[in-house]
């Protein structure tokens, strides 16, 4: 069955209960705006920065979206792209695309104009919906985009080169369209992070989407009484698939725009959120604010908050130790996944396994895992190799890229590109990305291990370890270190701290700078390697 069936069930069982809430505290701080154009979206007179919709309205808006697409000639299997910031319209539009039988194609909101055009061409997009933040980017490539494509603007003042979403859906039926969708129908195209160039298009069936929804609800026991706080971008599989636990249980979810620690605590407190998914930098910011006294737990109503979980990147055990010191009653989970495995959940720690913090966990609900060597053979327990996963959430293919597909799909197994090992209890530990491993003088160095060690230093806010070119050793480990606000740190202090590491693992180059992360919290190591490898080569030339 398609996940849209859950939306229709929720409309019948919980028609007048709140489904989605949008909070925009940054807007509250800067200006008051009118949302009059959204006639079916409820708001309070004194809080224009807060909007909400019920399950009935959610489903009606999705149906209007689906019927509008069908009336405009969109057929089953056509591709409809979404280029929007998180907002209350995002999920109804996404679900409406699915109801129409079309394939939903979310775009990264950080894409530059050339990347938008590239992804539209690669995915063979027929319709592109975009928000006001992207008018300039779309206008710069509109001549190329307009060829056989429908451009729809979601916002108040529609540019001349697009059609207005508000006007297009106004007179459309709010009844379910007569479209049959099966598990084997194509449902969505997501894009890889593009760490090796332009992104790859990842095609998933409706079965994958349903798998993600069931996995999330199972792992976190999401009930009808829960309230999920969603902060990461909805274009990414992680945020959307975690929300699908709320869809399955018919429970509320809050879309928070802004990541300040005070925003998070206020949202949890006022909306009585019980489940919060954070990225490592946001959790770190919260802890730093608590340590400094800028944030006080006693100022908020947080007792109902039962679960904090993190995904999208390796989680330093030291961070969770600090978190549990402040929130000893919290359940904790970490989720591992890729867009190729429909986001989070193919491996997860499990809320009862906090004694194994540092591991990514065990195979997720309905998933299989194995670790292989370069020849494709399973390694012995305790040995490092490439993590492979298998389940109904594995992608169909890289769309229009059979060569890349063949490299990562082997007999139903997805080769993740991550180096992992399994301990004696069966828990999987992520060692590093295969392409991030540093080979220094014949020794394999795993940056994540060095990063975890450095993050224990009380002055280090964030760190990234990369390989830098070296004429004698091939590569050396370089540490890019972001120091906590109002603190100072010297290279000598870092080197002294690293005496606790084996000599061959110690960083040979220390760089104090910001650590760039993408919207899902992953360190942008290709950018760092490009930036600092050139500097290292110049430095070596000057030395020689």
Closest to 51 (Cα-Cα) out of 271, 317, 241: 271
Range in 8-12, 319-323, 441-445, 450-454 the model is least confident about: 441-445
Q: What is the pLDDT of residues 59-68, one digit of tens each?
A: 999 999 999 9
Q: What is the pLDDT of residues 290-299, one digit of tens each?
A: 999 999 999 9
Q: Residue written as tokens 């990842």?
A: 202
Q: How far apart are CA 502 and CA 498, in angstroms?
A: 8
443: left (phi over 0), alpha (psi -120 to 50) or beta: beta
pLDDT of residue 470: 80
pLDDT of residue 38: 37
pLDDT tops 90 at residue 419: no
Helices (H) and strands (E) in the chain, counts: 17, 28
Asked if 234 contacts 257 with a C-beta cutoff of 8 angstroms, the reply is: no
Q: What is the mean pLDDT of residues 284-303?
A: 95
Q: How far apart are CA 510 and CA 308, in angstroms?
A: 33
Q: Residue written as tokens 């802004």?
A: 258
pLDDT tops 80 at residue 520: no
The model scores a pTM over 0.75: yes
pLDDT of residue 231: 93
Task: Outline where 234-316 has alpha helix (H).
Answer: 237-249, 261-271, 280-292
Cα 446 to its chain centre, rounded Å, is: 23
Q: How far apart are CA 543 and CA 46, in angstroms?
A: 64
Q: How far apart are CA 67 and CA 176, in angstroms?
A: 8
Q: What is the pLDDT of residues 137-151, one digit of tens each?
A: 999 999 999 778 999
State the average pLDDT for the chain: 90
Residue 449 — very low, low, confident or very high, per pLDDT cuts 50/70/90? confident
SS (H, E, C) 294-306: CCCHHHCCCCCCC
44: left (phi over 0), alpha (psi -120 to 50) or beta: beta
pLDDT tops 80 at residue 327: yes
Q: What is the pLDDT of residues 177-201, one digit of tens each?
A: 999 999 999 999 999 865 445 789 9
pLDDT of residue 469: 86
Q: What percent of the chain has pLDDT over 90?
A: 71
Determine how many CB atoms are found less than 10 A away from the CB of residue 178: 7
Token pair of 254 as six digits: 């809050």
Q: How far apart are CA 259 and CA 79, in angstroms?
A: 32
pLDDT tops 80 at residue 439: no
> From start to end of 84-149, where are the E strands?
103-106, 127-130
Asked if 488 contacts 307 with a C-beta cutoff of 8 angstroms, the reply is: no
pLDDT of residue 459: 93
Determine the topology of domain 437-543 in CATH.
Answer: GMP Synthetase; Chain A, domain 3 (3.30.300)
Query: Exposed/middle/buried for 193, CB within 10 Å: 0-12, 13-18, 19+?
Result: middle
Q: How far apart are CA 99 and CA 97, in angstroms?
A: 5
More confident residue, 18 or 534: 18
pLDDT tops 70 at residue 47: no
Q: What is the mean pLDDT of residues 429-444?
A: 76
| CA-to-CA dists, residue 269 to 58, 297, 327, angstroms | 24, 10, 15
pLDDT of residue 37: 36
More confident residue, 444 or 304: 304
pLDDT tops 70 at residue 133: yes
Residue 53 — very low, low, confident or very high, per pLDDT cuts 50/70/90? very high
Token pair of 111 as six digits: 């894409």
pLDDT of residue 372: 96
pLDDT of residue 197: 58
More confident residue, 444 or 411: 411
pLDDT of residue 84: 97
pLDDT of residue 30: 44
Q: How far apart are CA 144 and CA 158, in angstroms?
A: 19
312: left (phi over 0), alpha (psi -120 to 50) or beta: left
Whole-angstrom distance between the N-terminal and C-terminal Cα of the chain? 66
pLDDT tops 90 at residue 230: yes
pLDDT tops 50 at residue 206: yes
Give the domain ranges of the chain: 4-229, 437-543
Query: Exposed/middle/buried for 93, CB within 10 Å: 0-12, 13-18, 19+?
Result: buried
pLDDT of residue 28: 56
Q: What is the DSSP letter of 36?
A: T
pLDDT of residue 303: 97
Asked if 441 contacts 504 with a C-beta cutoff of 8 angstroms, the reply is: yes
Q: How far apart are CA 211 and CA 207, in angstroms?
A: 6
pLDDT of residue 313: 67
Query: Exposed/middle/buried for 242, CB within 10 Å: 0-12, 13-18, 19+?
Result: buried
More confident residue, 401 or 29: 401
The CATH number of the domain covering residues in 4-229:
3.40.50.12780
DSSP H or E segment with residue 215? helix 206-220
| CA-to-CA dists, residue 141 to 37, 105, 118, 125, angstroms | 28, 19, 11, 14
pLDDT of residue 539: 57
pLDDT of residue 472: 66
Q: How far apart are CA 137 and CA 511, in angstroms?
A: 34
Q: How far apart are CA 518 and CA 529, in angstroms?
A: 15
What contacts 474, CB < 8 A, 6 or more positions away? 439, 440, 441
pLDDT tops 70 at residue 542: no
**Cα angle 413-417-418, degrees, rounded to a multiple of 5:** 105
Determine how many CB atoms are found less than 10 A away from the CB of residue 417: 17
Asked if 345 contacts 335 with a C-beta cutoff of 8 angstroms, the reply is: yes
């Amino acid at each position: 069955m398609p996940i849209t069936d859950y939306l229709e069930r929720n409309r019948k069982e919980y028609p007048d209960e709140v489904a989605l809430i949008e909070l925009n505290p940054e807007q509250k701080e800067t200006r008051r705006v009118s949302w009059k154009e959204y006639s079916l979206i409820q708001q309070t007179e004194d809080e224009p920065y807060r909007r909400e919709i019920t399950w009935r309205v959610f489903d009606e808006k999705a149906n209007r979206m689906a019927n509008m697409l069908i009336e405009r000639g969109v057929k089953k299997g056509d591709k409809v792209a979404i280029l929007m910031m998180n907002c209350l319209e995002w999920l109804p539009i996404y679900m409406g695309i699915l109801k129409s039988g079309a394939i939903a194609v979310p775009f990264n909101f950080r894409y530059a104009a050339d990347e938008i055009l590239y992804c539209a061409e690669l995915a063979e997009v027929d319709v592109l919906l975009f928000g006001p933040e992207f008018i300039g980017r779309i206008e710069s490539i509109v001549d190329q985009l307009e060829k056989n494509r429908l451009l729809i603007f979601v916002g108040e003042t529609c540019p001349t080169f697009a059609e207005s979403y508000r006007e297009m859906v106004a007179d459309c039926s709010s009844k379910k369209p007569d479209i049959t969708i099966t598990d084997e129908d194509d449902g969505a195209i997501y894009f890889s992070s593009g760490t090796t160039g332009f992104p790859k298009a990842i095609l998933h069936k409706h079965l994958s989407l349903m798998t993600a929804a069931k996995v999330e609800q199972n792992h976190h026991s999401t009930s009808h009484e829960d309230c999920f706080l969603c902060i990461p971008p909805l274009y990414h599989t992680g945020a959307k698939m975690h929300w699908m636990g709320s869809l399955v249980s018919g429970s509320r979810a809050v879309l928070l725009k802004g990541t300040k620690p005070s925003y998070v605590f206020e949202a949890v407190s006022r909306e009585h959120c019980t489940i919060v998914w954070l990225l490592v930098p946001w959790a770190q910011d919260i802890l730093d604010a608590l340590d400094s006294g800028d944030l006080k737990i006693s100022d908020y109503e947080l007792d109902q908050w039962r679960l904090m979980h993190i995904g999208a990147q390796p989680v330093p055990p030291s961070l969770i130790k600090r978190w549990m010191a402040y929130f000893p009653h919290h359940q904790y989970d970490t989720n591992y996944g890729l867009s190729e495995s429909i986001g989070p959940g193919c491996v997860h720690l499990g809320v009862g396994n906090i004694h194994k913090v540092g591991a990514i966990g065990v195979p997720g609900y309905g998933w299989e895992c194995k670790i292989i060597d370069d020849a494709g053979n399973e390694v012995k327990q305790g040995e490092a190799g490439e993590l492979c996963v298998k389940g109904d959430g594995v992608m169909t293919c890289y769309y229009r890229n059979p060569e890349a597909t063949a490299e990562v799909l082997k007999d139903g197994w997805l080769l993740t590109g991550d180096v992992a090992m399994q301990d004696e209890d069966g828990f999987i530990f992520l060692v590093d990305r295969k392409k991030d491993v540093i080979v220094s003088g014949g020794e394999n160095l795993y940056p994540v291990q060095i990063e975890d060690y450095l993050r224990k230093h009380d002055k280090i806010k964030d760190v990234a370890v990369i390989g830098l070119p070296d004429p004698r050793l091939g590569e050396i480990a370089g540490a890019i270190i972001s120091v906590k606000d109002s603190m100072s740190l010297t290279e000598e202090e870092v080197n002294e701290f690293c005496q606790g590491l084996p000599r061959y693992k110690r960083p040979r180059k220390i760089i104090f700078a910001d650590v760039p992360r993408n919207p899902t919290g992953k360190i942008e190591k290709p950018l760092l390697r490009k930036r600092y490898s050139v500097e290292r080569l110049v430095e070596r030339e000057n030395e020689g």
